[in-house]
Amino acid sequence: MIRKDLLRLSIGALALAASCTGAAFAQASGAAPSASPAAAPSRLDAVIARGTLRVCTTGDYKPYSFLKADGTFEGIDIDMAESLAKSLGVKADFVKTTWSNLMSDFLAKCDIAVGGVSTTLERQKRVFFTQPYMVDGKAPITRCADAAKYQTLAQIDQPGTRVIVNPGGTNERFAKQYLSHAKLTVYPDNVSIFKQILEGKADVMVTDASETLLQQKLNPGLCSVHPDKPFQYGEKAYMVPQGDVTYQQYVDQWLHLARETGQFDSIRDKWLK
């Protein structure tokens, strides 16, 4: 027992001596004691102090985000953004953007971007994504009478096929990568684009499976083609500023709780069922 006590005393003495020696060296050399770097301000604090959550959204992508004639937005992600703002004790301020300008507008004007945004590695280079809230993928939508003709990419990617696509997002990139032989039309209005197929001005569009399911309900005569087996794997998530882990973790936790408590399911079903 005495040996153990002596050993503890010896170790303590050595530690104290090392500490004193280090302090003495620092004092002799004129070096200032090291201090922990101050944490960078978080967007979380800025949003709360401002009293508003600035939300970038395109407003042209049902069921996620749609700009109504009265100037207000509606959809799954609009309700979710309102929920996030409420959790922070602030108001949601929606900023209209386009798919082509989504990244630049988000970086300059917004705290979060919502509205059916697909996660991509290219976007990941400039922003953080939250955890995904929906798994999705690209699927065709066409006139029901032509559904059997457009089951595969090979069937669609033919010179005689008129493919239509909205500009600036993952739909356009997908079409240009995989449908190089088809006749491709970039149509500027993502709201009325499906009418072009219904009216026979285009044959098919490849977009997110969730959108094809909604549009076949909104446009009788159009059919979603194997939405349960999309051409590629995809995810929907929210864009938040790169590098701000504190803010990202708050949004992730809010989203996690919304999904686990059934709040997200309730909002999703409101717009999809």
Q: Are residues 240 and 166 in the same domain?
A: no
In a domain, residue 203? The reply is yes
Is the Cβ–Cβ distance between 248 and 144 less than 8 Å?
Answer: no
In a domain, residue 127? The reply is yes
Q: Are residues 169 and 247 in the same domain?
A: no
Stated as kind and residue range, the H or E segment containing 9 is helix 2-29
Total number of domains in the chain: 2
Residue 54: which of 23, 100, 91, 79 has the closest Cα? 91
Instruction: List the chain pLDDT tens, one digit each, 273 residues.
Output: 433 343 343 334 434 444 444 444 344 445 444 544 556 789 999 999 999 999 999 999 999 999 999 999 999 999 999 999 999 999 999 999 999 999 999 999 999 999 999 999 999 999 999 999 999 999 999 999 999 999 999 999 999 999 999 998 899 999 999 999 999 999 999 889 999 999 999 999 999 999 999 999 999 999 999 999 999 999 999 999 999 999 999 999 999 999 999 999 999 999 987
Stated as kind and residue range, the H or E segment containing 39 is none
Q: Are residues 114 and 94 in the same domain?
A: yes
d(CA 121, CA 129): 10
Sheet strands (E) in the chain? 52-57, 60-61, 65-67, 73-74, 91-96, 112-113, 127-129, 134-136, 138-143, 162-165, 183-186, 204-208, 222-224, 234-236, 239-241
Domain that holds residue 60: 43-135+235-272
